[in-house]
Chains A and B, each alone.
Chain A
Amino acid sequence: MAVIKVKRPELNAGEKFYLGAIVKGFFITMKHAVASLRNKTRGAKDMASSGLGATMQFPEQKWDDHMPEYYRGAPALVTDEQDRERCVSCQLCEFICPPKAIAIIPGEIPSDDPWAKVEKRPKEFDIDMTRCIYCGMCEEVCPEQAIYLRKDYLISGLSRAEMVHDKKRLYEIGGKRIGLVNKWNELK
Chain B
Amino acid sequence: MDLFITIAIILIKVIGLTFLVVLPLVPISVYFERRFSAIIQDRVGPNRVGIPLTLFGAKKDLSFFGLIQPMADGLKLFLKEDFTPVHVRKSFYWLAPALTVIPALVTVCVVPFGSPITIGGREIDLVIADLDVGPLFIFAISSLTVYGITLAGWSSNSKFPFIGGVRSTAQMISYEICLGLSIIPVLLWYGELNLSNIVEAQSANGWLLLPLWGESAPWNNGGDYSAWIFWIPAFIAFLIFTISIFAETNRMPFDLPECETELVGGYHTEYSSMKFAMFFMGEYAAMVIGSALIVTMFLGGWSLPFNWDSILQDTEGNWLWFSGLVHLGVFMTKLVAFILFFILVRWTVPRFRYDQLMRLGWVIFFEAALINVFLAALIIAAPELKAVATITGAVVLVVVSAALIWVLKVSDKKEAPNSGLLG
Is A103's CB within 8 Å of the partner chain B?
A: no
CB contact list, B65-124 vs A, under 8 A: none
* 0/1 interface trace, chain A 25-61, chain B, CB 8 Å (1 if under): 1101110110111000110100000101111010000
**Interface residue from B42, B344, B347, B419 paired with A54 (Cβ < 8 Å):** B42
Binds A, one of B33-41, B137-145, B187-195: B33-41
**Interface residue from B42, B344, B422 paired with A30 (Cβ < 8 Å):** B344
CB–CB A22/B348 < 8 A: yes
CB–CB B42/A53 < 8 A: yes
Known interface pairs A3-B422, A5-B419. Does A33 touch B40 (Cβ–Cβ under 8 Å)?
yes
CB–CB A55/B344 < 8 A: no
* 0/1 interface trace, chain B 38-80, chain A, CB 8 Å (1 if under): 1111111001000000000000000000000000000000000
CB–CB A52/B344 < 8 A: no
CB–CB A29/B42 < 8 A: no
| Distance A36 CA – B417 CA, assembled complex (angstroms) | 43
| Distance A28 CA – B209 CA, assembled complex (angstroms) | 26
| Closest CB in chain A relative to B4 CB, distance in Å | 52
CB–CB B349/A36 < 8 A: no
Chain B residues positioned under 8 Å from A57 (CB to CB): 44
| Closest CB in chain B relative to A57 CB, distance in Å | 6
CB contact list, A102-143 vs B, under 8 A: none
CB–CB B348/A26 < 8 A: yes
**Interface residue from A5, A29, A35, A53 paired with B44 (Cβ < 8 Å):** A53
| Closest CB in chain B relative to A18 CB, distance in Å | 9
**Interface residue from A28, A50, A52 paired with B39 (Cβ < 8 Å):** A52
CB–CB B44/A52 < 8 A: yes
CB contact list, B321-357 vs A, under 8 A: 344, 347-349
| Closest CB in chain B relative to A19 CB, distance in Å | 9
Known interface pairs A22-B348, A25-B349. Does A33 touch B44 (Cβ–Cβ under 8 Å)?
no
Chain B residues positioned under 8 Å from A26 (CB to CB): 344, 348
* 0/1 interface trace, chain A 51-93, chain B, CB 8 Å (1 if under): 0111101000000000000000000000000000000000000
Q: Output the nearest chain B residue to A52 by Cβ-Cβ distance.
A: B44
Interface centre among A22, A35, A53 (most CB of B within 10 A): A53
| Closest CB in chain B relative to A185 CB, distance in Å | 52
Q: Output the nearest chain B residue to A3 by Cβ-Cβ distance.
A: B422
CB contact list, B398-422 vs A, under 8 A: 417, 419, 422
Q: Output the nearest chain A residue to B349 by Cβ-Cβ distance.
A: A22
Chain A residues positioned under 8 Å from B417 (CB to CB): 8
| Distance A169 CA – B127 CA, assembled complex (angstroms) | 70
CB–CB B36/A33 < 8 A: yes
| Distance A5 CA – B43 CA, assembled complex (angstroms) | 43
CB–CB A37/B344 < 8 A: no
| Closest CB in chain B relative to A40 CB, distance in Å | 10
**Interface residue from A3, A29, A36, A41 paired with B344 (Cβ < 8 Å):** A29
CB–CB B44/A50 < 8 A: yes
| Distance A30 CA – B42 CA, assembled complex (angstroms) | 11
| Distance A2 CA – B39 CA, assembled complex (angstroms) | 49
CB–CB B38/A53 < 8 A: yes
Chain A residues positioned under 8 Å from B344 (CB to CB): 26, 29-30, 33
CB–CB B348/A41 < 8 A: no
Q: Output the nearest chain A residue to B422 by Cβ-Cβ distance.
A: A3
Known interface pairs A3-B422, A5-B419, A53-B44. Does A37 touch B349 (Cβ–Cβ under 8 Å)?
no
Chain A residues positioned under 8 Å from B36 (CB to CB): 33
| Distance A18 CA – B36 CA, assembled complex (angstroms) | 25
**Interface residue from A8, A25, A28, A55 paired with B43 (Cβ < 8 Å):** A55
Known interface pairs A3-B422, A5-B419. Does A36 touch B42 (Cβ–Cβ under 8 Å)?
yes
Known interface pairs A22-B349, A25-B348, A26-B344. Does A41 touch B419 (Cβ–Cβ under 8 Å)?
no
Q: Output the nearest chain B residue to A34 by Cβ-Cβ distance.
A: B39
**Interface residue from B40, B43, B47, B419 paired with A29 (Cβ < 8 Å):** B40
| Closest CB in chain A relative to B253 CB, distance in Å | 9
**Interface residue from A5, A29, A41 paired with B347 (Cβ < 8 Å):** A29
| Closest CB in chain B relative to A35 CB, distance in Å | 8
CB–CB B348/A37 < 8 A: no
Interface centre among B38, B40, B347 (most CB of A within 10 A): B40
| Distance A41 CA – B39 CA, assembled complex (angstroms) | 10
| Distance A35 CA – B36 CA, assembled complex (angstroms) | 13
Q: Output the nearest chain A residue to B346 by Cβ-Cβ distance.
A: A29
**Interface residue from B41, B348, B349 paired with A53 (Cβ < 8 Å):** B41
Chain B residues positioned under 8 Å from A32 (CB to CB): 39-42
Q: Output the nearest chain B residue to A26 by Cβ-Cβ distance.
A: B348
| Distance A173 CA – B41 CA, assembled complex (angstroms) | 38
| Distance A8 CA – B43 CA, assembled complex (angstroms) | 36
CB contact list, B277-307 vs A, under 8 A: none
Known interface pairs A5-B419, A50-B44, A52-B44. Does A33 touch B39 (Cβ–Cβ under 8 Å)?
yes
Please name 7 further chain A to chain B contacts, defined as beta carbons within 8 Å, in addition to the given A8-B417, A53-B38, sorted by A numbering.
A25-B348, A25-B349, A29-B344, A32-B39, A33-B36, A33-B344, A36-B43
Those 6 A-B pairs whose CB atoms lie nearest each other, nearest first: A53-B42, A25-B348, A55-B44, A41-B42, A54-B42, A29-B348
Q: List 28 A-B contacts (CB under 8 A).
A: A3-B422, A22-B348, A25-B348, A26-B348, A28-B348, A29-B344, A29-B348, A30-B344, A32-B40, A32-B41, A32-B42, A33-B36, A33-B39, A33-B344, A35-B42, A36-B40, A36-B42, A37-B39, A42-B42, A52-B39, A52-B47, A53-B38, A53-B39, A53-B43, A55-B42, A55-B43, A55-B44, A57-B44
